[in-house]
Each structure stands twice: as C-alpha cells, then as structure tokens.
Structure 1
C-alpha cells in the first residue's frame, strides 16, 4: 500500500486501513465483500464489513468522490434523507505502484432496498405507484432546500418500508448542485422531467424482462410523479387568501401540512382589502412532524408513516387511560405505552427473525394483523395473540430485508451514448415513447 494514500473522513475509523485498498474493487475477495442487493450504477459499487457495520464503496475519480462526499454531508446537515458519507480514499495504487481510482465510502442504510430488489418477482401496480410517490416526496424535500439533483431516478434512490408506503433516500449525489438562493421554477421542472423520463425507462426495462405486472403502464406510472410532485409542492408553498371571517382555515391548512409530515415554523399573515382577507404564506416547512412527536414522547425512531400509525395506537391508549386515571400525565402514559405495549411486541420476535423488518414496521403489521383477525372472528383479538399469529404465519416467511444474502453484488452499467440509445432494433429511441 502506498504511503501517500489519503483518507478524508469527519470521524476517523482506523479499521478503514484494514481493507485491501491496494487492489481494484472488482478484485476484492469474499472475505472482504458482503453480498447485499444494489441498484444499477455507472461505477463499480461493492459492500464491505467495517468495524461491525456494513459500508458501500464506490470507485470513481478523486474529484467526484470528494465533491459527492461534501454534498452528502451538506444534505445531512439540512436533514434531507440520504446515505451517510464516511470517507474518501485517494492516492491508491496497486502492488506495482500503478494508480487506482479513488473511492467514496458511505454507510449502508439498514433495511433499505434498491427498486430492483423490491421487484424480484412481478411488481404489483400499487407497489409501483407507492415507490414513485415516495420519490416525488423526496424530490420536493430536496427542492425545498435548493438542491438540484440532475439525475433523478429509481436507481439513484433507496427505499425503506414505511407502514404500507415507502420512504425514499438519495443514494447518489454526484450530479447534484445546491443553490443557496433556491431553485428557479425552470430548474425544478428540469429535474421533474428527468425523473419522468428515467422512471419510464427503468419500468420499461423491467417490463422487457417480464418483471412488471402486465396491467402496469410504465409511461403512466412515470408521469404520475409529475402530478404527485406538483400537488405536494402546491400544498407546501402556495400563498392562500381567505376571507377574514374564515380564519379557521389557517388551522385547517396547518393540519393538512401535518398530515403530509411537515411542520410550519412561521406564518406570514397580513390583512388586505380593508381587513376583509387574510393572506397565509408558509415561511419555513420542516418534514417529519409525526416522527418528531413520536420520538419526543417515546424515543422511538420511526419513519413518518410508521410514526403516524404508532401515534394512533398511542393516542388511543392515552385516551383510555385518561378516563381511568385522569391525574396521570401524557408523558407518563406514553412511557407506559412504550414499556407495556410496544416493547413487548417487538421483543417477542425471535432473534433469528429480527433482520426481517424494523421494530416500528413489525408493530405496524401486528396492528394490521389484529384488525384482520378481529374482523374475521367478529371480536377484539388481544395484541399479544395477534403478534404471535403474525410472527408465525407471516413474518417467518418474509425475506430478510436487513441482509438479503445471495444477491449479485457487482451490477454495473456501461456509459451509454445518445447514439446507442437511438440504435434500437425498431429504430426508435425508447425516450420517444415516454
């Protein structure tokens, strides 16, 4: 290993030096590589174990690795869902002194999956739509902080299950730029069009490989990201004018934003037309309303939809207990719910099955399963009984989303030129079909 190898990292981990940096990434052996599902990438990406955790390693140029490392750190500070950057490895060379590409090291996002792993069997229409909706939400969050992605796609996104929906995380920021003064409408529309075209291409590719349900129209699903994005953007940013006599609409607007997972830090309210109207303009919107409330009450770190589902159960528990013990505060009852309701259900999952789903997702599914059993039996089924039934009949048969072993780890995508795209068998560029 060359003595001038350089490691840039915000938190230095000496175990980084134990990895075989003097070998090209495609020559790393089984002792170094962890088999996990991954998306298509223009660069070689592999996973490795590092000090008890799994990291993703991407070979690229030093300039691109450093730029992406810096961008991901900035996005993390802005609280945007993305992978965590750990280090840039530069100045690599092999045993003969020949230079090797630099490497970007990021922490693997546990319980996350690339879209192709989710579609290992025929994709259902609802799944396709939920993934696109999740990506639309991520794109809005990125645009709100002034980030232009430039290569929006399912391939550049990781997904985690979120109480029947999906949460999306940015995994590739090498083409992105951050504009401190915010994005123009033109830049936002550019990103949206790139998303529509790329998603259509990815779904058409799945369809060609017979991995897409025949009832799914790839072009229509891809186009839906435009509608979903614009609807969410409008709700978050549009100025609203209402009659002064209907100021209750202010609360209504706030509640709608909360349902979308956003808080309002400040409202700009001004009267006009002789005091007959009130103008409402959200000044600062911050995602994760339900996540933060659940975490503050119980310490549970959950996705937004998971948090909303768990809060419903928590609020119901608190309401019932208030009727019986009116002098007990909400915080004490929330802690009681965690210790007596949530924790026992999650801890009842056998150790060998705990890599299947995250704890909050397990609890969500147990609640759903209890509802199903109660409907079937026409009586209320105890939560503990529903949990045992769910674990035995469903969880045990799910694939392990924390690891998903025995999946190819070296998917790469060659650089494709515009001419290559046009030289299709039918002489038609697939982009023209979008």
Structure 2
C-alpha cells in the first residue's frame, strides 16, 4: 500500500500504525485511555513513541484542508491543537478505499466539556466554560477566522488558575479572512447559541447537569460575554486632552482581560481639545509572555498572572524593587516555585500541571490565613494542601472511566 503522507516533520513511527484497518477497529493495545468529545467522525487517541496523537478519520481533501487551517492558526499564535499530518490513500487488505486521517498532537491536561462536567465540580462550571469559549471566539474573530461550527464539542478546555482556557480542536468548517464583517461574527454567535443550548440539554438528559439549569439561558451567556469583550477591545473612546491618563487606564483594562495592546490609533481634533483612542492590534497572552521572558515558564495567561503576582510579592518582601527584574525572577524560580512544585508526592504530582498546582497552593494559603487571621508560609500551605486537598483532586492528565460516548446524544446539529 502506497500511503500519501503529509506531515510537518518526518515521523517514521507513524508508518507502524495499522492504516489498513478502519479506525474503529484499531486494537486496544495501541490506544490511549483518554476521554473523547462528541464528533461526527471516528476519533481515537494513539500512543506513538511515548506521545499521544489524536487520529480523526475524515475524507482526504477535508483532512488536508483542516490540517492547513490549523497550521495557519498556529502561525497566528491562536489557541488551537497542533496538527501533525495527514494520512491519505488508505486501502483495506482487500483493496477497498478508506477515508484519510488527520493527526493532531493531544493537548496535555486538556479535557472535553463532557468529561469536565462529569466530575464533581462547582455549579457554575458550565458558565465558566462558556466564558472561556467566548474569549476564544473573540481571539479568533480578531484574527479574521470564521469558525462556522462554534460549540463546546469542538473545543478543549484546560484549567487556568481557577478558570478555564479554551482551545479550538475542530477547524473543519473554518475560513480565514483579512477581517470579519459584523454579519459573519453574529452568524458565528447564533451557531454557538444553538449548539451550546443543545449540548447542555444533552448533558441534562444524561444526568450530568442539574435539571433546574436553564440550558438556553446559560447558552445565551456567550452572546453577552462575547459582546462585552469585543466592545472593550475594539470600541473608539473620546475624552478631553487633559485626561490623557485614560489612555493608560484603557491599556490596563485590556491587560486585566488578558490582552496586550500592540498598537493604538490615537487622533486629536484640530484644536487639540479631545483625543480619540482605539486599540488597533490586540492579542492575548500579555502575562504569559512576560512570565516566559522572565522565567522560561510557558503557562496559561491566568496562571501567569497569578505567578507574576507572587513574584512581585517576593520582590517586595525581599526589598529588591531596585534589582534587575530577570535576576529576581531567577531567584524566585529557584527558591520558591520549583521547590514547591517538586515537593508534592510523585504519585500525586501528575494530577495537574505544576503552574496550576502552584496556583492552588497560593489559594490554599490565602484561605488558611483568612481562617486563622495570621500569615502562613508557602511551605506550610503546601504541606497542608498535600495532606488535605490534593488527594481528592481529579487527575487531569487522564480521566479514566468516564465513557462520554455512553451518554445519550440528542440530534441538535
């Protein structure tokens, strides 16, 4: 069999996979026990040389198009899964044609929404997932990407300092433009509303979401959250010339939302009495980029914000405000961050990313201090967290035993 392989980089081990078999017949011994979201196509997770690869069976031409779209989104620094390659020209041992396969790298510590909601989580988890999806949609629209099939099912979620970060996992219907019209953006929002409401109703039918939850009302949250964020990022603001401090205030608001301002369009009236300001180039990741520059830690933006706050507290507590920022960050990394994240028992360390573990310990220290009305060291907080909280935390590296395919699915798409 002469396979047609399109790949970002050579990976000979891919040739060892059973491409002559339909994906649903692949043997269990090569599959990874990870939860799968709902998909129109057969999807399996496969272990290849210690890495986990998601394999989706799909028509050859559609697989190539989605592969190229995902590569473009990655080049634009958008939150999307990493494409590995496309396998086309598949035939069974009897010579019958098989669909091609799109290969993407599994996003470590990420979960589909059905697995997220199958665990014992706070009642507002569904709303927080939708908030994360709204942020993702704004980012994609700012780039000129029309999704065409916005849904929780086409998204993966990672915990990020008590919130969630969303990643696009299915770009099959996507289109990349220079800019999007208001009509295109509203169309994506309408698709999101219908899909999310249906998905939440499916969860209720499967007993994973309280029947008292208004699925339509929760789904409508994406419309509100999206519009608030879009307005904050793109609105033109006018103010008097003696209020120039509002330029800095606008940037601070955008930064607090996790966006960095790359360029501002500032114009004044002929007589100089008023100033008009509009962010022109915006991108998410302001905090994560700063943390990466200072420490080499590549984490989610909410996590980075929390870690940077602790770094700033360390700097102040040690009276090092006048020291070089990179040197202080190196000392914080060596003396605080790494000793804490490595002190968890090995069997528990795999439950979450180190940055999320560190955030959890900071939260735990705050609760301890509030309850006792005194300060605790981060080492004390870590010991108490390991003893009382960490054992009961879900394992985000692999949720085993959650068969999301077994939950009834209502036809809504």
Whether 1:155 and 2:153 are equivalent positions in the alignment is yes
1:411 Cα deviation (Å)?
6.9
TM-score (norm 1): 0.92
1:124 Cα deviation (Å)?
4.0
Q: Secondary structure at the match of 1:364?
A: helix
Q: Secondary structure at the match of 1:283?
A: strand
- d(CA) in 2 for partners of 1:241, 1:8: 51
- d(CA) in 2 for partners of 1:22, 1:354: 39
- Counterparts of 1:127-146 in structure 2 under 5 Å? 127-146=125-144
Whether 1:14 and 2:9 are equivalent positions in the alignment is no
Whether 1:406 and 2:404 are equivalent positions in the alignment is no
- Counterparts of 1:226-265 in structure 2 under 5 Å? 226-265=223-262
Q: Secondary structure at the match of 2:338?
A: helix
- d(CA) in 1 for partners of 2:261, 2:338: 32
1:394 counterpart residue number: 389
1:407 Cα deviation (Å)?
3.6
2:115 counterpart residue number: 117
Q: Secondary structure at the match of 2:246?
A: helix
Which 5+ residue runs of structure 2 have no aligned equivalent?
A: none
Instruction: Assess if the C-alpha contact under 8 Å between 1:122 and 1:213 holds in 2.
Output: no
- d(CA) in 1 for partners of 2:108, 2:183: 35
Deviation track 1:58-117 (CA, whole Å, cap 9, x = no partner) reads 001001100000000000000110100001000111111111110000000000000000
Deviation track 1:167-210 (CA, whole Å, cap 9, x = no partner) reads 00000000100112x00000000000100111111111112222
- Structure 2 CA distance for partners of 1:326 and 1:89, relative to 1, 3 Å: closer
Instruction: Assess if the C-alpha contact under 8 Å between 1:91 and 1:102 holds in 2.
Output: yes
How many residues in Structure 1 have an aligned counterpart in Structure 2?
413
Whether 1:285 and 2:256 are equivalent positions in the alignment is no
1:237 Cα deviation (Å)?
0.8
- Counterparts of 1:13-412 in structure 2 under 5 Å? 13-121=11-119, 124-180=122-178, 182-272=179-269, 274-321=271-318, 323=319, 325=320, 328-408=323-403
Deviation track 1:249-283 (CA, whole Å, cap 9, x = no partner) reads 00000000111111112211111152110011211
Computed over aligned residues only, the root mean square deviation of the Cα atoms, in angstroms, reads: 1.8
- d(CA) in 2 for partners of 1:66, 1:373: 53
Instruction: Assess if the C-alpha contact under 8 Å between 2:37 and 2:404 holds in 1.
Output: no
1:412 Cα deviation (Å)?
11
1:5 to 3, 9, 18: 3
TM-score (norm 2): 0.96
Q: Secondary structure at the match of 1:396?
A: helix
Instruction: Assess if the C-alpha contact under 8 Å between 1:153 and 1:198 holds in 2.
Output: yes
RCO higher in structure (CA 8 A, sep ≥6):
1
Instruction: Assess if the C-alpha contact under 8 Å between 1:122 and 1:212 holds in 2.
Output: no
- d(CA) in 2 for partners of 1:232, 1:226: 10
- Structure 2 CA distance for partners of 1:78 and 1:327, relative to 1, 3 Å: closer
1:355 Cα deviation (Å)?
1.9
1:415 Cα deviation (Å)?
11
Instruction: Assess if the C-alpha contact under 8 Å between 1:41 and 1:413 holds in 2.
Output: no
Which 5+ residue runs of structure 1 have no aligned equivalent?
A: 422-430
